Structure 1
Amino acid sequence: MARHLAPDLKATVVTHSPSIAVELSNHAHIDVIIIGGKLFKHSVVAMGSGTIDEIARVRADQYFMGVCSLHPRTGITSLDFDEAGIKRAFSRAAADTVVLASPDKLDTTSPFEIVPLAEVSRIVLNRDTAAELIAPYQAQGIEITLA
């Protein structure tokens, strides 16, 4: 997503991902704030209680969350307990949570809850996602964007 931001976008991005910070370092009008912690090598993001404390001090307009599992009944879940906590903290710090998912993530569940679907403002999916996969989320009043 970071690669597709408009060149004239003026914003502040808060991230716990060194990869995203580096990607945005050449964007002329975006200020980047990096939240630190212990590096979770699997996802190349900062993790830990200090990370959660820093996130709690942020008031964001939107949080763009990448997910591994999204289900109409069980909500958004993760394969990793600590990663679920970090994503939950970011979601609570934001006015709106926008989920970024590929079709293979839909109608799946993982062991650790991040947030229920009621806390999601919008889901961004691949343009070619089948309508029958999208319908259960639309039925819950969640805005769907195909990109």
Structure 2
Amino acid sequence: MRKDKRHAFILKEVNLHNKVLSVDLSEQLNVSDDTIRRDIKELAGEGKLIRVHGGAIGKSFVTPFNSDNVVYAATAKAQIAHKTLSLIKNNMVILTEGGTTMLELAKAIPSNLKATFITISPQVAITLAQHESLDVISIGGKLAKNANLHIGASVVNQLAGLKADLCILGANAFSSEEGLTDLDWEVVQVKKALIRSAKKVAVISISEKLNSVKWLNICSASQVDYLITELEPADQLLSSFTQKNIKVL
């Protein structure tokens, strides 16, 4: 495969999944690990992604407040944010993580909503804090720089004492058969704790991330109550999720 096509594929995977591993890219593209490392180094030098140990991450995911960054599928993520608002009612307690779709939701919160948001994302906390009627609680701990989320035992312990009305999670990959999956061990442990600490769970995701699987399981599809994408609920791509008794918005 030509270098320009490899680069295009790598950038799409980074934009789609926020983080990619060199070993996975090597297998997907059927090239050597050294070739992938050189590709990532070159793309990082051009400012198109951020090189990290073992792979790469997207710039907009880690530094979303940088006006130079272009958010992947921004229109779809804004649609998802506005759909998700239908789940949020006055006086609810809501748990969230981070990500660009969650940031779109944080910006879309109506000014008259009165609710409590508890988040493990400093960026989401800052964005939510702009709404005067919201109470915002940021759960602190070690900051995972590759995801800008608070992680670790202290975060899990703080979440253990909660039972929120709703947990809103982004998705790295979501499959009706394999459930919600991700790449980072510590992030996965915190996401599991978020799910345990809520009565209902909603997954917000662009449709391109559906029917894909990463190597670490967060939860089964049966533990998810709502799925919000940019697609119409009757879209054929979503049928396998509705068959799992997930309410699709």
**Selected match of 1:23 from 121, 127, 133:** 127
**Which residue number in structure 2 is paired with residue 90 of structure 1?**
194
**Selected match of 1:105 from 202, 206, 209:** 209
Measure the CA separation in 1 of the matches of 2:186 and 2:233: 30
Q: By percentage of residues, which structure has more strand? A: 1
**Selected match of 2:173 from 64, 69, 92:** 69
Per-residue deviation, 1:120: 0.6
Q: By percentage of residues, which structure has more helix? A: 2
2:140 and 2:150 in contact (8 A); partners too:
yes
Letter paired with 1:98 = A
Measure the CA separation in 2 of the matches of 1:48 and 1:80: 12
Measure the CA separation in 2 of the matches of 1:41 and 1:129: 35
- 1:1-147 to 2 correspondence within 5 Å? 1-127=105-231, 131-145=235-249
Per-residue deviation, 1:59: 1.4
2:182 and 2:215 in contact (8 A); partners too:
yes
Measure the CA separation in 2 of the matches of 1:48 and 1:142: 30
Max Rg structure: 2
Per-residue deviation, 1:39: 0.6
Measure the CA separation in 2 of the matches of 1:114 and 1:95: 16
Per-residue deviation, 1:128: 6.1
Per-residue deviation, 1:61: 0.2
Letter paired with 2:119 = T
Letter paired with 1:102 = I
Measure the CA separation in 2 of the matches of 1:141 and 1:52: 28
For the aligned residue pairs, the C-alpha RMSD in angstroms reads: 1.3
Greater relative contact order (CA < 8 Å, ≥ 6 in sequence): 1
Unaligned runs of 5+ in 2: 1-104
Give TM-score, length-normalised by structure 1: 0.94
Measure the CA separation in 1 of the matches of 2:166 and 2:195: 8
After the TM superposition, list the runs of 4 or more consecutive aligned residues in structure 1 that deviate by more than 4 angstroms. Answer: none
What SS does structure 1 have at the residue aligned with 2:237? Answer: helix
Per-residue deviation, 1:16: 0.7
Letter paired with 1:125 = T
Letter paired with 1:48 = G
Per-residue deviation, 1:132: 2.2
- Which has the larger displacement, 87-96 or 121-130? 121-130
2:207 and 2:231 in contact (8 A); partners too:
no
Give TM-score, length-normalised by structure 2: 0.56
Per-residue deviation, 1:129: 8.2
- Which has the larger displacement, 125-134 or 101-110? 125-134
